[in-house]
Amino acid sequence: ILQDFVPAPGLTLIQYVDDLLIAGQTEEQVRKESIKLLNFLGLKGLKVSKSKLQFTEEKVKYLGHYIEKGEKMIDPERVQGILSLPTPRSKKQVRQLL
């Protein structure tokens, strides 16, 4: 469906399955394009979760990463989850971890 949606010049639309991200240089451009995309999806009969919507934010969480000013950082909660895993003590435990 999204192949029919063409973002304005200077804006980028990224899709991974049902996760969408619009990126651009100014908040105003992104806001206008986001509204255009929401209207487009509505006309196609699709709905967007209000609880997952991050509308024109400078820092967004996308696919388990935080993205801000062109920088990508892994979610600290994910890092903490990995760090809290017990240290494997056998080959079997190493295989299970991987």
Mean pLDDT of 52-70: 85
pLDDT over 80 at 1, yes or no? no
pLDDT over 90 at 54, yes or no? no
Rg (CA), the chain: 18
Residue indicated by tokens 């105003």: 28
For 70, which DSSP code?
T
Q: Give the C-alpha distances (Å, rounded to integers) separating 96 from 44, 77, 79, 83.
A: 43, 21, 18, 16
Q: pLDDT tier at 61 (50, 70, 90 boundaries)?
A: confident
Mean pLDDT of 75-95: 91
Mean pLDDT of 83-98: 91
pTM of the predicted model as reported, rounded to 2 decimal places: 0.67
Separation between Cα atoms, residue 45 and residue 67, nearest integer Å: 29
